[in-house]
Amino acid sequence: MQIGASLPVVDIGTAPNIVRDYAQAAERLGYAYLVAPDHVLGANPATDHGDRRVGTTANAYHDPFVLFGFLAGCTQRIGFAVGVLILAQRQTVLVAKQAASLDVLCNGRFRLGVGVGWNEVEFVGLNENFHNRGRRSEEQVQVMQALWAQDHVTFNGAFHHIQDAGINPRPASGRVPIWYGGHADSTFRRAAKYGDGFMPLAYPPNDAALAAFDKLRRLTREAGRDPAQMGIEVWVSLAGTEDDWRRELAFWKQAGVTHVTAHTTYSSGHHKRIDGRTSATHLAAITRYRAVVADLL
pLDDT at 52: 86
Q: Are 60 and 9 in contact (CB under 8 A)?
A: yes
Strand partners of residue 138: none
- What does the pLDDT read at residue 93? 98
Alpha-carbon span 83 to 89, nearest angstrom: 15
- Number of other CB atoms surrounding residue 52 within 10 Å: 10
> What single string gives the DSSP state of each residue in the chain?
-EEEEE--HHHH---HHHHHHHHHHHHHHT--EEEE------B-TTS--TT----BTTS----HHHHHHHHHTT-SS-EEEES-EEGGGS-HHHHHHHHHHHHHHTTS-EEEEEE----HHHHHHTT--STTHHHHHHHHHHHHHHHHH-SSEEEE-SS-EEEEE--SS--TTS---EEEE--SHHHHHHHHHH-SEEE--S--SSHHHHHHHHHHHHHHHHTTS-GGG-EEEEEEETTS-HHHHHHHHHHHHHTT--EEEEESS--BTTB---S--SHHHHHHHHHHHHHHHGGG-
Q: Give the residue among 190, 189, 177 at the shortest CA–CA distance from 112.
A: 177
Pairing mode, strands 110-115 and 161-165: unpaired
Provide the whole-model pTM: 0.96
C-alpha 108/C-alpha 268 separation (Å) is 31
Q: What is the pLDDT of residue 215?
A: 98
Residue 246 sits in which domain range?
2-296
For the chain, what is the domain count? 1
Q: Which residues have a Cβ under 8 Å from the Cβ of 111 and sit 6 or more positions away?
A: 33, 79, 80, 81, 82, 176, 177, 179, 196, 197
pLDDT in tens, the chain (297 residues): 999 999 999 999 999 999 999 999 999 999 999 999 999 999 999 999 888 889 999 999 999 999 999 999 999 999 999 999 999 999 999 999 999 999 999 999 999 999 999 999 999 999 999 999 999 999 999 999 999 999 999 999 999 999 999 999 999 999 999 999 999 999 999 999 999 999 999 999 999 999 999 999 999 999 999 999 999 999 999 998 999 999 999 999 999 999 999 999 999 999 999 999 999 999 999 999 999 999 999
Are the C-beta atoms of residues 188 and 216 closer than 8 Å to each other?
yes
Judge whether 35 and 81 are in contact, CB under 8 Å.
yes
Strand 33-36 to strand 79-82: parallel, antiparallel, or no bridges (unpaired)?
parallel
Which pLDDT value is given to residue 240?
87
Q: How many CB atoms lie within 10 A of CB 172?
A: 11
CATH number at residue 248: 3.20.20.30
